[in-house]
Amino acid sequence: MPVIELTDVSRAFTVTSRTGFRRTRREVRAVDGLSFTVEPGEVVGYIGPNGAGKSTTIKMLTGILVPSGGTIRVAGVDPSRHRLKLAKRIGVVFGQRTTLWWDLPLKDSFAVLQKMYGVPIARHRENLATFVELLDLGDLLDVPVRQLSLGQRMRGDIAAALLHDPEIVYLDEPTIGLDVISKARLREFLAQVNAERRTTVILTTHDLDDIEALCTRVMVIDHGRQIFDGTLPTLRASQSAPRTLVVDLATSLPPITIPGATVTKVDGPRQHLTFPPTTSAAPLVAHLAATYPLADLTIAEPTIESIITQLYTPTPDLS
């Protein structure tokens, strides 16, 4: 049974602007007829360009915002009508701001959360010990939150969001501004939590490496509407971005000629050949191996970045 269910959900805002003495009101449809379900334990990347409606969706899922139309069920309840009840079953992390108490040492913030959520003390201790170890928080527990670095604070925020054993966590840009090592550590931690606890994760990010590392499913929205829902390989295959064969020859040669592929770059003995995503690489490789002195060969898939850029680019209206 789905843990999250949206049926034809929309949310409009009225925006007032002033030109001289005139005030004009216009309606912005931040979310426009969105329907999807998420099963327990799924890790869904929820992505889209700026202003696509991602934050508005997350705010409706937590109950902060009431939809203008449609229905939402999260863990069996309507979030906006049962916000407090739902709060015990969800965790939220906003990369841009902390949910911890600025002047309190990290461990006191955790203690406040234990009381707020009514987590049994034994369970709290158990969770705290696990998160302190996995997120390397031991030396930070006595440090006031305001003195933590961004990466340290984010680790604290993620632990705080999970201490009450939520079934669902919403992570809004959790790796923003972090260095490569901190990002990798966080991703590893989230993957482990999801695998061990079957926590459902909705991840909003502009960092496509987060998606690669964590998400079994990607949902792309634009102008408040869903434009893709599927796996990363399907997203890759759905687009026409070409694939590339990087061929290392035993010696420098003029550009290779084989049917179905085109040389785009020659760099000494290395040549780059592109071929359509619908073509299998196997016959091309066989042909190359039979005709040319090969030293090495690799296939480069289009980056998700290029695929998503393509998705966002409207197709020209030819009517």
Ligand X SMILES: Nc1ncnc2c1ncn2[C@@H]1O[C@H](COP(=O)(O)OP(=O)(O)OP(=O)(O)O)[C@@H](O)[C@H]1O
Strand order in the sheet with 4-19: 22-38, 4-19, 69-74
Residue 236 to residue 21: CA distance in whole angstroms: 50
| 262 and 274 Cβ atoms separated by less than 8 Å | yes
R_g of the chain computed on alpha carbons: 24
Residues in contact with ligand X, total (CB under 6 A)? 12
If the CB atoms of residues 25 and 120 are measured against ligand X, the closer one turns out to be 25
Q: Is there binding between residue 30 and ligand X (CB under 6 A)?
A: yes
Query: Is 28 a residue that touches ligand X (CB under 6 A)?
Result: yes
| Cα 139 to chain centroid, rounded | 29
Backbone dihedral angles phi then psi of residue 200, each to the nearest 5 degrees: -80, 135
> Is 155 an interacting residue with respect to ligand X (CB under 6 A)?
no
Q: How far is the CB of 223 from ligand X (least distance, A)?
A: 9
Give the contact letters, 35-54, x = binds to ligand X (CB under 6 A), - = no. -------------x-xxxxx
Say whether residue 166 binds ligand X (CB under 6 A). Answer: no
Q: Is 26 helix (H, G, I), strand (E, B) or coil?
A: strand
Minimum CB separation of residue 30 from ligand X in Å reads: 3
Nearer to ligand X, 90 or 258 (CB): 90
Nearer to ligand X, 30 or 247 (CB): 30
Give the C-alpha separation, 56 to 42, whole Å: 21
Q: Which of residues 95-114 bind ligand X (CB under 6 A)?
A: none
Residues 55-94: x where in contact with ligand X by CB under 6 A, - otherwise, as a string: xx--------------------------------------
Which helix (H) or strand (E) segment holds residue 202: the answer is: strand 200-204
Residue 228, beta-bridge partner list: 220
Nearer to ligand X, 51 or 177 (CB): 51
Order across the sheet with 243-249: list the strands: 262-267, 270-275, 243-249, 294-300
Q: What is the SS3 assignment for 91?
A: strand
Q: Which CB atom, from 53 or from 105, has the smaller least distance to ligand X? A: 53
256 binds ligand X (CB under 6 A): no
CB of 222 to ligand X, least distance (A): 9
Q: Is 15 in the site for ligand X (CB under 6 A)?
A: yes
Rounded to 5 degrees, what are φ and ψ at 256? Answer: -65, 145
**Residue number, 19 or 278, with CB nearest to ligand X:** 19
Q: Which is nearer to ligand X, 109 or 205 (CB)?
A: 205
**Residues 137, 186: Cα–Cα separation, whole Å:** 12
Q: Which chain residues interact with ligand X by CB under 6 A?
A: 13, 15, 28, 30, 48, 50-56
